[in-house]
Structure 1
Amino acid sequence: MNINIHISHLTPTTSKPNDMAHKLLIAILLCISMMYVPSGAVAATSDPTAVKWHPGHYYIIRGSQKNNATYLSQVYSELKATPALKGMMIRYFWNDLEKSKGVYDFSSIDKRLAELSSRGKRLVIQVQTKSFNKRQVVPNYMKTAEYEGGEFDISDYGNKVVTGRNIKLWNLQVQNRLTALFRAMGKRYNSHPYFEGISMIESAMGEPIKPLTKTQVTNFYNNKIIVQKQMRLFFPNTMTIQEVNYPRPILASFVGRLKNIGTALSSPDTFIEEKGLLFEATKYDPNQGVYNYYSEFAGTIPMVPTVMSNNYKNTKGDGTGYVPTISQILAFARDTLNANYIFWTREKHYAKVLEVLNWKGQRNAPAGGLNPKCPSAYSSCTS
């Protein structure tokens, strides 16, 4: 229902209105306008490009349990007891959301968003286009020549055993269909005040079982940037996120383009001592690790590192470091990576995570002790 009321139609133009009557009129109009704001709309602002901004700590729940009522009940009780936890991230594979061409199933997201909204907590979604367990990631309709089968097999580096799959994003048709998914999601969720962010999985491709051409690799990363540009258009009031780790030789250009778009910089891991992520450029190797860009671009775009299960176990990916404490991981993400948000994977270490997040420094501090400042890439932020 649309109600258009113009003050000039209600206020006499031939004489100055009584101040008290004028104030009363403004109050009445404000009340009427608030009655007709859709429940899912972003808070009113003079800036239509203002971005929802609720920095702090967020859970990442187990994807296999995202529709398990018993599991979710426990998660919700932990969110309630931990003020520093602002909400949670849920990961969905592409083919979880698109059942056939242009036919989307967002019912699970809708349910979780409603449950979180009722609790004053927020939702971040990651669309997974890469698997680590041989799982198919693209919808079935893409297993055709038009899409080159849609995906390719990958392995862990150093062997030729299939361990996962990634999408053939160099294919223009694959790119178009991924863009269409984000368009549909933006239309549905951008204006929802508790839909906090939308993310794409890590930049590392994995080791292709069948070697790729240089052109395919180049187009893969170029098209990922194109998709991120479109996401900013589809989600003008919502944080868009890209996980970045490797390959180092492309990072200067890739992360620089993300900065220009206004995309949040994330990482699939927070390893305190990982050489490849911390690598500082030299005259012999100018390709610095991604962690260096956190300090370089802090304050410009959001910094949103992720803590995964292996990060709780060791400071290095190969296990040759030490077992860090939760407070050490937090300090590294907060002070070295300049985090605005931290996404904590809810693994067996979650009790220790909750303990640290309920310490005074996180429980009583704005943004759970993280940097609360609105990044300059956004025209303004709404809280």
Structure 2
Amino acid sequence: MTRFAAILLCWLGLLAAAPAAAEDPRNFIYTGPGELETNLELLDRADIDGAQVVYPWRMLEPEKGVYDFSAIEADLALADAAGKQLFAQIQDRFFLAKARRIPQYMLDDPEYGGGLARQYDNPGEGEPVGQGWTAMHWNPAVRARFQALLQALGERFDGRLYGVNLPESSFDPLTEDGDRNGFTCDAYFAATLDNMRAARAAFAKTEVVQYLNFWPCEWNNDHAFMERAFALAVEEGIGAGGPDIVPHKRAQMKNAYPFFNRHKDELPLIAMAIQEPTLTYTNPETGRKYTREEFVAFARDYLGVDVIFWSVEAPWLARE
């Protein structure tokens, strides 16, 4: 063997042993109910693989045990016609004071303790803090109804939807609510994990993702909530995600982000969003809003993201 051949073989061996470069995440658009039809020109783009649509609980269960999945069916038909995939977010929390979009019977029946608990809402960088609501899953009656909804969704859509995700783990309760209808941080955490298991049981073929970003009462995993939630996701084959990709932001780096990095090769799917508030953040290194390239590089290389849900207001999606 010549010296050149030996060098070539050595170089080829090193090249084969080198880890493959991570692929860029797939792009989905992110919309609300009834908005997909008005964004079909985005869905039809070759660089868009699908859509994520947020469906409020009340829309899906207008009466107790009576389900209306017509909105999902309509969006699924649009996605199928375009040759794209649909991800459904089942929304149990809301970010406006007047938005109380859980079924009316849960607001009225004392069994559910009011159904909703007030929470703070941070709508974006530089925006005033507002008030929103989250479903009281620590109330077993509320949680049972949510899991019944997941079961009904699974019976209709398992294998038809590409994915289903549960909303963010973050909940910032209003301290002046006092007793808060039995809320404790441990009960909230246990209820969230119970819903994760229920979603996985309801969907055998469709991807299941739990949004994990923060936990009430926890900072930097000091209650091991984040650690245990990711461990359950890995064990049960549940994907993970979150509503915000903000490169190197301190709050996220002290909470969920390191766990995405640690488990990115173990989770079946990582799906994260760049929603409207995310677009308001400034990159401290440049003094300008984050670019698409900065979002994608951090999502790909550090977080291990497979799918990004892009707000239709993202500048790179601007219509001609």
- What TM-score do you get using the length of structure 1 for normalisation? 0.67
Note the 1:88-107 alignment, pairs <5 A: 88-107=51-70
Match of 1:155 among 111, 120, 132: 120
Q: Which has the larger radius of gyration?
A: 1
Deviates further, 247-256 or 233-242:
247-256
Distance 1:86 1:94 in 2: 26
Give the CA deviation at 1:171.
0.6
Aligned residue for 2:111?
A: 146
Contact between 1:225 and 1:258, CA under 8 Å: does it hold in 2? no
Match of 2:311 among 333, 339, 345: 345
Distance 2:34 2:188 in 1: 32
Q: Does 1:119 align with 2:82?
A: yes
Contact between 2:94 and 2:134, CA under 8 Å: does it hold in 1? yes
Match of 2:44 among 65, 77, 80: 80
Give the CA deviation at 1:346.
1.1
Give the CA deviation at 1:331.
0.9
Distance 1:92 1:350 in 2: 25
CA distance 1:321–1:168, change in 2 (3 Å): farther
Which amino acid letter does the alignment assign opposite residue 311 of structure 2?
Answer: T
Distance 1:220 1:339 in 2: 26
Aligned residue for 1:26?
A: none
User: SS state of the match for residue 71, structure 2?
Assistant: helix
Among all aligned residue pairs of Structure 1 and Structure 2, give the percentage whose two residues are the same amino acid.
25
Alpha-carbon displacement from aligned partner over 1:118-170 (angstroms, at most 9, x marks no partner): 1111110001111110210321111221111111112248xxx8611111111
Distance 1:166 1:215 in 2: 12
User: SS state of the match for residue 105, structure 1?
Assistant: coil
Aligned residue for 2:231?
A: 256
Q: Does 1:164 align with 2:147?
A: no
CA distance 1:170–1:321, change in 2 (3 Å): farther
Alpha-carbon displacement from aligned partner over 1:324-376 (angstroms, at most 9, x marks no partner): 11111111111111111111111152536x99xxxxxxxxxxxxxxxxxxxxx
Contact between 1:190 and 1:236, CA under 8 Å: does it hold in 2? yes
Q: Does 1:58 align with 2:28?
A: yes
User: SS state of the match for residue 118, structure 2?
Assistant: strand
CA distance 1:155–1:310, change in 2 (3 Å): closer
User: SS state of the match for residue 49, structure 2?
Assistant: strand
Note the 1:185-196 alignment, pairs <5 A: 185-192=153-160, 195-196=161-162
Match of 2:177 among 206, 210, 215: 210
Distance 1:212 1:343 in 2: 36
Give the CA deviation at 1:101.
0.4
Query: Gaps spanning 5+ residues in structure 1: where?
Result: 1-54, 280-288, 356-383
Aligned residue for 1:309?
A: 276
Aligned-residue CA RMSD (Å):
2.5
Give the CA deviation at 1:228.
1.1
Contact between 1:305 and 1:337, CA under 8 Å: does it hold in 2? no
Aligned residue for 1:334?
A: 300
- Kindly tell me the number of residue pairs found equivalent between the two proteins: 278
- What TM-score do you get using the length of structure 2 for normalisation? 0.80
Distance 1:278 1:246 in 2: 11
Distance 1:271 1:239 in 2: 24
Q: Does 1:270 align with 2:245?
A: yes
Give the CA deviation at 1:321.
5.8
Which amino acid letter does the alignment assign opposite residue 311 of structure 1?
Answer: T
User: SS state of the match for residue 100, structure 1?
Assistant: coil
User: SS state of the match for residue 62, structure 2?
Assistant: strand
* Structure 1 stretches of at least 4 aligned residues deviating more than 4 Å after TM superposition: 212-215
Match of 1:108 among 48, 65, 71: 71
Contact between 2:37 and 2:78, CA under 8 Å: does it hold in 1? no
Give the CA deviation at 1:255.
2.1
- RCO greater where, 1 or 2, for CA within 8 Å and sep 6 or more? 1
Give the CA deviation at 1:308.
1.5
Give the CA deviation at 1:105.
0.8
